């Protein structure tokens, strides 16, 4: 362990604290993947008992804050670096220092002067910026919170996921937030957590009038979520019974389908294209159809020899073809990470914006044909689903 480099950072910390110039420090990049805590944020706070150093521990399912004296904080963060973390980012009023270590114990400390002097924030218990409030009656009725609007310990992880989901969708839906009425269909709504969250977030914007429909084939869930929406006074939110491939789509600006299994994702995309949706967002799941068609090719391609690599390649090929087919129908596509990998292995979000630019169908068809030929694929189900809709 390069204790000398850690000591240099410790000296910078103690000097900044003594001069009231310490702004913040973040410890990250754990030595063992998945170990806890995954991150620690350190900052000065002014309490009735005087100046303290606050340690905000971020675990995978909870957060924890502890306050320490400057002397305790100095020993504590160096111990965390010595045993648990590989990286630290330290800010004083005028400098930013980064400590980076590798698994072999080698370390380096890089210090740069800030172009603009930072500001010290001594506020205690600063509230997190969340796009969704736990105070809504619907969250209590959904079993997410207690009657006081406090998220249950067993649901903390789920509530974080919901807020992350809204953060991502906010960026995607932003172009329509000035349009007055926004019609959204959420395919495969399930228990409705994400559907309620999206409606709550959109309803906060006084410039728009959201209409959100959750589609779910289990009648008991449809009855329950409709009752909750009515009890909570969410007039623009409703749930309807139906399967993804058979649901009669109303006028739709945005179509969402998260973790629709296997070809149900293709049914949802086809429905969105047929309805002229301006935005389609889906988190694909399973990828069984293409996997079966690739079986014969797997014997000939070395990259498909190993089971886990075959599974991943099937997912990549499936979603690449989906993106290309959407582009053929006038959508600008984008693929990004949805949820952190430790939460779920299915962490890809495929989205497409409808545009009015000319589309080189012949060029895209060539790419689709070449990719299918390379992996021994006869038909992608999305092509079949679109044909069934006369497209």
Q: pLDDT per residue over 162-183, tens digit each?
A: 888 888 888 788 766 666 888 9
| Whether residue 153 sits in one domain with residue 69 | no
- Neighbour tally for 266: CB within 10 Å: 27
- Round to whole Å and give the CA distance between 159 and 143: 11
Q: What is the CATH number of the domain that holds 160?
A: 3.40.50.150
Whether the predicted pLDDT of 344 surpasses 50: no
Whether residues 96 and 148 fall in one domain: no
Whether residue 258 is found in the same domain as residue 348: yes
**pLDDT grade, residue 143 (50/70/90)?**
very high
- Confidence (pLDDT) at 297: 62
* Token pair of 247 as six digits: 């649901």
Handedness of CA 105, 108, 109, 112 (dihedral sign): negative
Give the C-alpha separation, 206 to 237, whole Å.
16
Q: Are residues 214 and 264 in the same domain?
A: yes
What value does the mean pLDDT take over residues 125-141?
74
Adjacent-strand bridge partners of 337: 348
Quick check: is 128 in a domain? no
Q: What is the DSSP letter of 26?
A: E
Q: Is residue 190 part of a domain?
A: yes
> In terms of domains, do 100 and 188 share one?
no
Q: Provide the domain count of the chain.
A: 2
Residues 151 and 221 in one domain: yes
Model-level pTM greater than 0.85? no
* Inside any domain, residue 123: no
- 237 plus 349 within the same structural domain: yes
Residue 358 is part of which domain span?
Answer: 137-388
Note whether residue 129 is domain-resident: no
Domain end residue (candidates: 58, 79, 113): 113
Q: Report how far residue 131's alpha carbon sits from residue 159's, in angstroms, rounded to the nearest whole number.
A: 11
**pLDDT(1) > 70:** no
Candidate from 64-73, 271-280, 337-346 with smallest mean pLDDT: 337-346
Residue 281 has pLDDT above 60, yes or no: yes
Instruction: Tell me if 120 is assigned to some domain.
Output: no
Q: Give the lowest-confidence range in 123-127, 194-198, 210-214, 227-231.
A: 123-127
Return d(Cα 45, Cα 123) in angstroms, integer. Answer: 6
Mean pLDDT of the region 44-54: 89
């Amino acid at each position: 362990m390069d204790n000398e480099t850690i000591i240099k950072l410790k000296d910078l910390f103690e000097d900044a604290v003594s001069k009231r110039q310490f702004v913040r420090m973040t410890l990250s990049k754990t030595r063992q993947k998945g170990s806890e805590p995954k991150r620690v944020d350190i900052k000065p706070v002014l309490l009735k008992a005087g100046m303290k150093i606050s340690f905000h521990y971020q675990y995978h399912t909870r957060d924890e804050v502890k306050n320490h004296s400057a002397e305790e904080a100095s020993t504590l963060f160096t111990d965390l670096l010595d045993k648990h973390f590989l990286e630290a980012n330290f800010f004083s009023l005028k400098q930013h220092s980064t400590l980076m270590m590798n698994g072999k114990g080698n370390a380096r400390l890089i210090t740069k002067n800030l172009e603009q002097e930072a500001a010290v924030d001594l506020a205690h218990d600063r509230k997190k910026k969340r796009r969704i409030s736990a105070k809504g009656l619907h969250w209590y009725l959904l079993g997410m919170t207690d009657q006081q609007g406090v998220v249950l310990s067993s649901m903390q992880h789920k509530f974080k996921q919901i807020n992350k989901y809204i953060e991502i969708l906010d960026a995607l839906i932003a172009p329509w937030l000035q349009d007055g009425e926004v019609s959204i269909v959420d395919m495969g709504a399930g228990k409705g957590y994400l559907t309620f969250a999206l409606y709550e977030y959109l309803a906060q914007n006084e410039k728009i009038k959201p209409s959100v429909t959750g589609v779910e084939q289990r009648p008991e869930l449809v009855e329950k979520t409709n009752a909750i929406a009515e009890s909570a006074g969410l007039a623009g939110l409703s749930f309807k019974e139906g399967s993804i491939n058979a649901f009669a789509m109303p006028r739709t600006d945005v179509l969402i389908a998260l973790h629709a299994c296997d070809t149900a994702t293709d049914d949802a995309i086809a429905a969105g294209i047929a309805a002229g949706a301006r935005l389609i967002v889906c988190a694909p799941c399973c990828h069984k159809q293409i996997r079966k068609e690739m079986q014969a090719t797997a014997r000939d391609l070395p990259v498909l020899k190993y089971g886990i690599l075959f599974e991943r390649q099937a997912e990549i090929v499936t979603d690449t073809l989906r993106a290309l087919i959407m582009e053929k129908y006038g959508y600008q596509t984008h693929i990004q990470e949805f949820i952190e990998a430790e939460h779920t292995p299915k962490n890809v979000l495929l989205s497409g914006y409808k545009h009015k630019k000319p589309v080189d169908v012949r060029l895209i068809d060539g790419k689709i044909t070449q990719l299918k030929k390379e992996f021994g694929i006869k038909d992608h189900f999305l092509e079949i689903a679109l044909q069934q809709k006369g497209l």
